Structure 1
Amino acid sequence: MMKKKVISLALTFSLLFSSTALAAPAPELIGTSAIAVDLNTKEIIYAKNIDEKRQPASITKLMTALLLAENKKPEDNLTYPQGAKTQPDYSYGLNVHPVQAGETFSGANAMDILLLYSGNDIAYMIAENLGGNVENFSKLMNEKAKALNMTNTNFVTPNGLDDNTNDHYTSAYDLTLLGEAVYNNPWVKATIAKKTSEVKSSNGPIAVIENRNKLLGINGNIGGKTGYTTKSGRCLFTIYERNGRTIATVVLNSEYNFPADTKVFEDMEKLVEYSFTADKQVYLEKGKELQSITLKYKSIPFIGPTRTIKVPVTLHKDINLYDTGLTPELNYNIDDVSPWKLSADKPVGKVDVKIRNYSESYELFPNISKMQIIKDNALYYILALLALIIIVSSIIIIRVKFKRKKRRKKSLFR
């Protein structure tokens, strides 16, 4: 009976420790590109084809919104142009209430319709009001993308419609850079957090529009933007806040299971749950030799011959990173240190670990101390000591002989 209890306890502890030691597996997503980034630390938590070019569909409107926020005020009026009337579903003038060319929308209403209802005509209206025409506005979009370091991005349309072009694209990683700019813009950030809004044109009635982000307000979702075209598949960008952390997430080219439209949101929920619970893995262990540095020194300070010594450097703490498949850059910065001052407890430089916008420095310590120099030169020091003894002894003998000779001369002249 006692033996069975012992075995049972052993199995319990074994299962307990094995379950805590194993990291949660990364989620399997339908979306062909996806990413999760901690906006506070800039760490990429999950990565799947994050640099591959994809059509972003209506997530494009986040860039349009950002430019609107940077160039207009909520109380400014924007004129509805004739070209806006030709934009397809979903358009405010086509699907909510007819709008005539020349009517106006306040900046606040335009922003709400753009991001909550995803109005294609309103994106076109913003483009003409800010850029004069869509072509000029696309230049503004791409200039802003360049300023945000979105290197795999090219915008052609203000609303993400891509039927007539293959040159409208971005990447999952680039969208997190845009998402961070959105998060830092109070007007856009407040807008994507709205569930509903009352809007109207200058001559139209009040209409209530709803946010298309089905996850808004659930489990920390503070906003996002949906998207879909035939080329892009179902897309979703979101921002989550939980337990003092802020994580931006993107899923591109997921499945659009119309009319239920659940797949991309299920993808996102899997990605988010993983991102908030994922543990970092040991990338480089403390105590492991990273590289060797070569230092010059004189065997006897100031006067001895110059020699070199290879000094292995190591870490005093682990480097832990999220398991994303991305290879970090390691940049070594070694101080100008004297080998005679080497100590296992004194750092000799740093290694900077960098993955995209994330960077952290770790101190490097020598694996040897100045005692190693003494050991390496022990034979030299013994020979030098013997030589010194011989020289000193010779000097003493010569002086003794000289004194004796001097005394003899004195005795002869007495």
Structure 2
Amino acid sequence: MQSLEALAHEASALARGELVPVHAPTAAESEVARQLQICNACRYCEGFCAVFPAMTRRLEFPVADVHFLANLCHNCGACLHACQYAPPHEFAVNIPQAMARVRGQTYHDYAWPPALGRLYKRNGLALSLALAGALALFLVLAVLLKGGVRGLWGSVPAGGSFYDLFPHNLMVALFAPVFLFAVLALALGVRRFWREITPVTSGAPLSAPAAAEATHNVLRLTYLDGGHGDGCHEADDAYTQARRRFHHLTFYGFMLCFAATSVATLYHYLLGQAAPYDLPSLPKLLGAVGGLMLMAGTAGLGWLNLRRHPLHGDAAQKPMDLGFIALLFAVSASGLGLWAARGTPAMALLLCLHLGAVMALFATLPYGKFAHGIFRTAALLRHAVEKRRPSPVGLGAD
């Protein structure tokens, strides 16, 4: 049940002409609401993660609340293994799987443009690999037209400079539109999501303490601890920290690679130092460490994804999950390979493969697991705000 404050905020938003999405619940959303009604009566898992304290502040679960709670869920599997009503019980309570189905739905519900979100959800792995291959082929053809076969394999640019193959301004012209499109699409998607969940999470504005708590939980992946600090469940009842550690390697590896590119941009425009950079330069250090972390993290996540118990998630999302993992792995592996091959006959070909993978990654960022990270951050921010407000009378874990 929404609080009077939340209802008043929603009415105010409508009066201002703001979009408050409302639609009839889908089968996946209705299933989450059914299961949460059972969980709300039991409350055995109340201390496991952010989902259950947030759940206890509600008696009913309309669409906006379901979207909020689904994106709070980290799919650690602990509640499934602790639940006395899990399959084969007739109640068939499986919160991780039910939440995963709704999360997957929200990625394309809020995607911009929507058609790309639906396409990526159905064909994520094939689309990612095909796009990376097509972009790499386009770059290969460009090199062949410029320098023939020897330009692609055999001719070594002086000093191993990438810009002898693709001038800096050409790279900027190729990548800037793709990057800006990804930023715009992600911003529009999370803006719609934020507008929908704000009225049902007290409507109060974000505060510094709430932002600090949510940031801590995001950066530490607090809720991948399985509820007791022992980690997630993977193939069976055993706890493991592997998923949390591989997520950390992937996230911080990606951030280090992004930092390397950002620092290299500053070197180029502010210091007048053009790439390539050698050790022990900061761009090279950040990129090498980040690339190794990213490759190890994505390899681990792919391995866990393939062997995870089918009850722990939504099998229909595997193409989307694996597509994102495959692109991240391709970016890191080709980047490290390019570094090793600099100054060799293989450099031009590896550069084409690397740039194709990077462009495909940024083109698909708004529609897969990267968007999931942004939506989960938004949900954790709203949870941190909501928990600081008084619970509706007679409700709430706090």
Q: TM-score range by the shorter chain?
A: under 0.3
Higher share in strand = 1
Higher share in helix = 2
> Considering only CA atoms, is the larger Rg found in Structure 1 or Structure 2?
1
Q: TM-score, normalised by structure 2?
A: 0.21
Q: TM-score, normalised by structure 1?
A: 0.20
Higher relative contact order (CA 8 A, sep 6+): 2
